[in-house]
Amino acid sequence: MGIGFDASFVFIQLLNGLTNAMFIFLIASGLSIIFGVLRILNFAHGSLYMLGAYMTHQCVSFFINSPGRFWLAVLIAPLTVALLGGVIERTLLRRLYRHEELIQLLFTYALVLILSDFARFLWGVDQLSVSRPPILKGAVEIFGQYFPKYNIFIILLGPCIAFFFWLLMLRTRWGRMIRAAALDRETLGALGVNVDRLFTVVFIIGSWLAALGGALVAPVTTIRPGMDVEIIINAFIVVVIGGMGSFWGTFWGAMIVGPVYAMGILVFPRLSIIFIYVIMILILITRPWGLLGRPLER
Amino acid sequence: MMKKLLIFLILVVGIFTFTQPGLTAEKSITVGFPMYLSGGGAVFGKPSAEGAKMLVKEVNDAGGVLGRKIELLVRDCKGSPEEATRVATEMISKDNIDFLVGGLTSSQGLALSEVSKQEEILYIAPISKVATMTEPPRFHKYVFRAACNSKTEGRSAAVLTAKKPWKRIATIGPDYSYGHSVTGAFVPMLKKLKPEVEIVHQAWPKLGESDYMPFINVVMASKPEAVFSTLWGGHFITFAKQASPLGFFEKYGFVSAGEAGCLEAIKGAGEDMPAAIISNAYDTFYYPDTAWHRDWVARSKAFTGETYPSSWLGTGYDAMKFLVEAIKKAGTTDTDDVIKALEGLTIDSSVGKLTMRAKDHQAARGQYWGTLTKVPEYPFLILKPVEYISAEELME
């Protein structure tokens, strides 16, 4: 369409892609951890993300007179959703591990419907909005272009969270157990580890990550019914590209999908979305277990 | 034994039949109203359904029409055309509805129009705007539209845009029928009114896109003087929240179709709503200051119990009013007679006198357009100055 691309616009586009990548990473990583350990494809993961966003709005409204209300909300909202995740795992999901995958899938899909009605009941159908925290309002100048401060914060925060989790997985007992469970949960159980409790913890962590994504995305989007289903497709694509159950795979999957999509918009505006699907199809053909995943036995 | 049971059954059935209100008197006229009541569009679907209920209450309180009560069946059809078709077909076969009114998105309007053609039932679209619904080859005698259509919406935006000094225009709109048909009406009309205008870029994010930043960057790279948008509802709010830190709305003129100026969008965006953009709304409770509009606002306040009545209440109200007035005029509920009565019918609607054109079953409906402005009277932005841009000279 006859736009001369300055290098600065291309760079900004890359940053846009990276911001998006960090959001998808947060959501997809929870999905991936849960799949890795529980072997459940959790369709309702997007619902936890949506609840995280709604809870953030709730907290921000509750602490309306406090200057740090957004940060308080980011702290509290994901924790409440994580708690809900724990309850769901304990009371409902637990009964499904012995059943075949189709039943599990149907169940998590039912959860999507129930949680979306739950959100509608509590918060109605209005579009809700959360403002950026004062310190991150506005934009900074980068090579003569403007880029929102909040997005820079997200780009920096994403790798920090990834690194922190990687350390947790590597250095702590729980981390080692989670990695072991992803490899072989039967043996882990035989070794005397309480696998039931481990599953609950993993589901809580996954829910927390989803809700954290929802909390952080709240200032740049509209909180509304339907955002649960919109995000889940992207998260699935990233998990498929990165490798089901692989933590770093999810990170790099998001790092590919985000910028590729953004650059696609710059180069072929009408076809941008196709690139991502092409990548996914190529991965599925050549490496069905994803970039950093392992081929499933059985 | 068998005989006793039979008598008992007849008694039970009899009691239920004769104690049911409405069945003893003349049977009520049933109207099916499938509407987007859960999911992203529900924020508009709900007030539209409320508007329909308001009209039904007014009519029934005044004794009904042709001595019969109106019975309104409001059902949730979510956001998809498939669901709209399913709900409508079910209401036709199970509830024996006499007329069909409803649907929100453009694709739902097209789907319900198809149902009405197959089932030979009269259908009035209160909200769906896509112009092709009332144009050949899709047009048929059972479909009517009380809403303004995408062509008049795009063209009225072009009329406003042409008055401004802008020459380089970019467009951004959701990549589906509504976005394309409004933008497709806007661009040629603008070029006709002002041939020196150049369309520098057209961005088409998918419907429901959550990340507009890459699109915003490309629009900015095309160096426009103004941007025309067809992002509606929550999509617009998301876009606005992402664009405003970049000074987007200060740098470029902005004309937004898709009712970014409606109360729901303005309230939803809160302090993130950009001021000084030009946009439209179905209704504005603060304008016009005339006797009939004051009366409409007072009645809608009383019915909904809300201080600031929704901009979408009138959509359901007007569609139902067209139906009721047509039945009254026809003196019967026979579909063909009501269709004839509807053609060319003028009603007192939420926007004043409104006529249903006979030739394409499209109401000659315009919209309120204005500039979003902060005023001391309200805790949110309003359209000011605002005017009703009539559709009549913009329609073929």
Residue A100 C-beta-side C-alpha neighbours within 13 Å: 1
Q: Which of B144, B6, B32, B99 is nearest to B332 (CA)?
A: B99
User: Partners of B33 in the beta sheet?
Assistant: B74
DSSP category for residue A135: G
Chain A, 90 to 149: residues with Cβ < 8 Å from chain B are 116-117, 120, 125-129, 131-132, 137-139, 145-149
Q: Quick check: ipTM above 0.90? A: no
Residue A83 lies in a domain: yes
Separation in Å, CA of B329 to nearest CA in chain A: 38
- Provide, as residue numbers in chain B, all residues whose Cβ is less than 8 Å from the Cβ of A1: 200-202, 222
Q: Of B45, B214, B264, which is closest to A16 when you measure between CB atoms?
A: B214
Q: In what order do the strands lie in the sheet with B168-172?
A: B198-203, B168-172, B226-229, B253-256, B278-281, B367-373, B382-389
Which residue in chain A is spatially nearest to B79 when comparing CA positions?
Answer: A226
For chain B, the distance separating the N- and C-terminal CA atoms, rounded to the nearest angstrom, is 73
Residue A7 lies in a domain: no
Whole-number average pLDDT of chain B: 91
Q: Are B30 and B97 in contact (CB under 8 A)?
A: yes
Enter the DSSP assignment of A92: T
- Judged against a pLDDT cut of 60, whether residue A149 lies above it is answered with yes
B145 beta partners: B125, B362
Do the domain assignments include residue A295? no
User: B10 burial class (0-12, 13-18, 19+ CB within 10 angstroms)?
Assistant: exposed
Cβ-based contacts of A149 with chain B (< 8 Å):
245
How far apart are alpha carbons B163 and B187 in whole angstroms? 14
Assess whether pLDDT exceeds 50 at residue A1: no
Strands (E), chain A: 139-142, 145-148
The predicted pLDDT at position B22 comes to 44
Q: Which residue has the tokens 């709604």?
A: A54
Closest CA to B146 of B134, B159, B158: B134
Residue B219 clears pLDDT 70, i.e. is over it: yes
Q: Which of B17-26, B257-266, B340-349 has the highest mean pLDDT?
A: B340-349
- Shortest Cα distance, chain A CAs vs residue B164, angstroms: 24
Residue A43 resides in a domain: yes
* Average pLDDT for A145-155: 94
Question: Is B125's pLDDT higher than 50?
Answer: yes
pLDDT at B184: 96
- Number of domains comprising chain A: 1
Interface test with B, best of A14, A24, A120, A129 (most B CBs within 10 A): A129
A·B CB contacts under 8 A: 134
Tokens of A98: 């012995």
Domains contained in chain B, CATH given: 29-148+293-365 (3.40.50.2300), 151-281+368-394 (3.40.50.2300)
Rounded to the nearest angstrom, the minimum Cα separation between A221 and chain B is 4
Determine which of B37, B48, B201, B218 to mutate to test the interface with A (most A C-beta atoms within 10 Å): B218
pTM above 0.80, yes or no: yes
Closest by CA position to A219, among listed B205, B270, B217, B252: B270
User: Is residue A2 scored above 50 in pLDDT?
Assistant: no
CA A22 – CA A10 distance, rounded (Å)? 19
Chain A environment of B267 (Cβ under 8 Å): 126
Q: Look at the block and give the residue holding tokens 């109207």.
A: B31
3-state secondary structure of B80: coil
Burial A255-293 (b: 16+ CB within 10 A, else e): bbbbbbbbbbbbeebeebbebbeebbeebeeeeebbbbb
Task: Determine whether the interchain pair A222/B206 forms a contact, defined as Cβ–Cβ distance below 8 Å.
Answer: no
Q: Cβ–Cβ of A20/B270 closer than 8 Å?
A: no
Q: Do A126 and B43 touch (CB under 8 A)?
A: yes
pLDDT confidence tier of residue B11, bands split at 50, 70 and 90? low
- pLDDT given at position A257: 93
Residue A47 at interface with chain B, using a CB cutoff of 8 Å? no
Q: Does B272 touch chain A (CB under 8 A)?
A: yes
* Helix and strand totals (H; E) in chain A: 11, 2
**How is chain A split among helix, strand and coil, in percent rounded to 5?**
75, 5, 20
Instruction: Note whether B214 contacts A266, CB cutoff 8 Å.
Output: yes
CB contact under 8 A, A226 and B39: yes
Whether B153 contacts B130, CB under 8 Å: no
Determine, for residues A221 and B245 on separate chains, whether the beta-carbon distance falls below 8 Å. no
**Which residues lie across from B168 on neighbouring strands?**
B198
When pLDDT is cut at 50, 70 and 90, the band that residue B387 belongs to is very high
A138 has a pLDDT exceeding 70: yes
Closest residue in chain B to residue A262, using alpha carbons only: B214
Is A194 contained in some domain? yes
Task: Output B22 or B273, whichever has higher pLDDT.
Answer: B273
Domain that holds residue A97: 25-228
**A4: confidence class by pLDDT, cuts 50, 70, 90:** low
Quote the pLDDT of residue B177: 85
Give A21 to chain B, closest Cα distance, Å.
10
Q: Residue A58 above 90 pLDDT?
A: yes
Residue A297 lies in a domain: no
Check if the beta carbon of residue A275 is closer than 8 Å to that of residue A260: yes
Q: What is the pLDDT of residues B128-164, one digit of tens each?
A: 999 999 999 999 999 999 999 999 999 999 999 999 9
Closest CA to A128 of A34, A222, A10: A222
Asked whether the predicted pLDDT for residue B333 surpasses 80, the reply is yes
A209 touches chain B (CB under 8 A): no
